[in-house]
Chains A and B, each alone.
Chain A
Amino acid sequence: EVQLVESGGGLVQPGGSLRLSCAASGFTFKSYWMHWVRQVPGQGLVWLSRINSDGSITNYADSVKGRFTISRDNAKNTLYLQMNSLGAEDTALYYCAREMGTNNYWGQGTLVTVSS
């Protein structure tokens, strides 16, 4: 069974940092592009970043470029999102997802709250 389990969310002060993890199981993790998407509760989905199967290609939305870094450890079947210089606008539920088209699958998300 395919599983994506996000962790690492929580309360962080403005200007702080947080690293999210997404543990993958039930499929050959190293074969897929992976993505991070966030959603403010009650609002829409926002694509943040993607990384290719071996980690050599990364892309970011303008809203997080220079602040967030996506990475992966295929030996550990884990995807990461390092988030720096966090502001209130980054408060959201963060999802990891496998692919955006065919073979798409989503985790249940981890909540990040940026507040003093």
Chain B
Amino acid sequence: QSALTQPASVSGSPGQSITISCTGTSSDVGGYNHVSWYQQHPGEAPKLMIYDVTNRPSGVSNRFSGSKSGNTASLTISGLQAEDEADYYCTSYTSSDTWVFGGGTKVTAL
């Protein structure tokens, strides 16, 4: 049950697009379409941004989108805004009937 691999940090200028990667194996990310992305601001609980690789919950901005290729899932934030500064975590269902998180990515709007 190794953690999924995410970059420690990603930054971009306001208005730009950024992409966060989440790399696993064929036993988790590559094997299932149950990949979710969460946003967490300091001192707050995580908030679901994307589920089942590409789906956005009601109320989440369409500037957030998800995709997957092989063992790597990605979260793209278009038109980066200051309010998007937060930690982002991916998670995937696994072949062991468990879930596993990525290590988290800190997003900074320069």
Interfacial residues, chain A to chain B (CB-CB below 8 A): 35, 37, 44-47, 50, 59-63, 95, 100-102, 104, 106-109
* B103 close to A44 (CB less than 8 A): yes
- Tell whether B3 is near chain A: CB-to-CB under 8 Å: yes
Kindly state the separation between the CA atoms of A63 and B93 in the bound complex, as whole angstroms.
17
Tell me whether A100 and B99 are in contact (CB under 8 A). Answer: yes
For the residues of B in contact with A, the DSSP-based class is: strand
| Interface footprint category on B | 20 to 34
Binding site for A on B (CB under 8 A): 1, 3, 34, 36, 38, 40, 45-48, 51-52, 55, 57, 87, 89, 91, 93, 96-104
From A45, A59, A63, A108, contact of B101 by CB (8 A): A45
**Of the residues B47, B93, B97, contact of A100 by C-beta under 8 Å:** B93
A34, chain B: closest CB distance, angstroms: 12
* A105 closest partner in B (C-beta): B48
Contact (Cβ within 8 A) A45 B98: no
List, in ascending order, chain B residues with CB within 8 A of A63's CB: 1
Q: A61-B1, A101-B51, A104-B48 are in contact. Are A47 and B97 (CB under 8 A)?
A: no
What's the Cα separation between A104 and B86 when bound, in Å?
19
Expressed in whole angstroms, the Cα–Cα distance for A36 and B50 within the complex equals 20
CB < 8 Å: which of A37, A100, A106, A107 contacts B34? A100
| B89 and A44 form a contact (CB under 8 A) | yes
From residue A75, how far is it (CB to closest CB) to chain B in Å?
26
| Interchain CB contact under 8 A, A47 and B45 | no
- Assuming A61-B98, A95-B45, A100-B99, is B104 touching A45 (CB within 8 A)? yes
Do B101 and A101 have beta carbons less than 8 Å apart? no
Contacts of A47 in B (CB 8 A): 91, 98-101
Q: Could you give 5 example pairs across A and B, Cβ below 8 Å?
A: A44-B3, A44-B102, A44-B104, A45-B104, A50-B99
A46 to B96, CA, bound (A): 16
